[in-house]
Structures are given as C-alpha cells and as structure tokens.
Structure 1
C-alpha cells in the first residue's frame, strides 16, 4: 500500500511529501529541497512536452475531457513524481467535495 492510500484525507495529503518536509513532494529524482525539485520538474516536464509534441499519440485521443487532461498530466510528470501522476489524488479539498489531479 502506498502511504497516500490510507483512506484518511489529511493523512493521505501529508504522505505526498517527503517525511519531515511540508513543501517537497516525494519524487523520482531524489531531490530534497523545494528549489531543486522545481528546477528538476521544469527540465523534465519540458523534455516530456517536446516528446508529446512529436508523438501526440502518447496520450488519449484529444477530447480535452478529464481523462485526456489526466493523460497529459501523467505524461508530463511521470519522470519526476513518485505519487500517482495523471490520477485523482486524496486531498483536503477532496474531503470537502473538490478534486485535485
């Protein structure tokens, strides 16, 4: 079980972050500072965006519906994010009826 799948929205939200941090998301690049993560996410997302421009078939058919937007998000962030890119996540907003991807 992933630490963000407990069923408790507050606990799930906190689990997205590196333990002991309240501003650095768990990530695949191994950085532990918000500034380093920002640089890494920007560089990796730009590379994925160029790849997506060359191969739009990497994501769902262009419908610009929620499934399509999730597919784009998954493609852009799959290299950097450790949690579930391109899927709905538990959040404090979800507990209040909102959605975050």
Structure 2
C-alpha cells in the first residue's frame, strides 16, 4: 500500500477478542477522527486479543485495552511512532 494512503484501524470482534474486551477498545478508537476504524473478523491470533491492526502500516497490536488504545491514538495515529512494546511478537519478532 502507498504510505500516503489514509490509515485504517481494524479491531477484531471475534469470540475470544470480544470476550477479552474488544468492544471497549473499539469504542475508544472510534472516538478519534484520525483514521477509519472498523471491526473485523478473526485474524487467527486467538488468545492474543483484543487485536488492533493499523493499515497500511501493517502493525498488529496485541492484548489491547482501552488505555492502550488511547496510546495507539496518541503515539501511532497522531504522533506517527509505532509502539514496539505493544506489537505482537510473533508478527514483529525484532522488537
């Protein structure tokens, strides 16, 4: 994807992510007007959720809470700084 493309944020709402609080994470992210936020189905990372994906950056954040979602808004979406400590280690092994 083109790096100048607008960001899209996907929040898994499948079973385990939903059980782990994904609805609250989604609500927190939807309160900002920086990126298009939408729900998605299972990303195949069950047990690691809630999962938030920032596109086109292709960054997968795991175990996201509403507080961590606020950090994603402030640091990644506004500040353009990826939060390495919150990135899924299986998908981002060099963190």
Q: TM-score, normalised by structure 1?
A: 0.21
Q: Which structure has more strand as a fraction of its residues? A: 2
Greater gyration radius? 1
TM-score normalised to the size of structure 2? 0.21
**Which structure shows the bigger proportion of residues in helix conformation?**
1
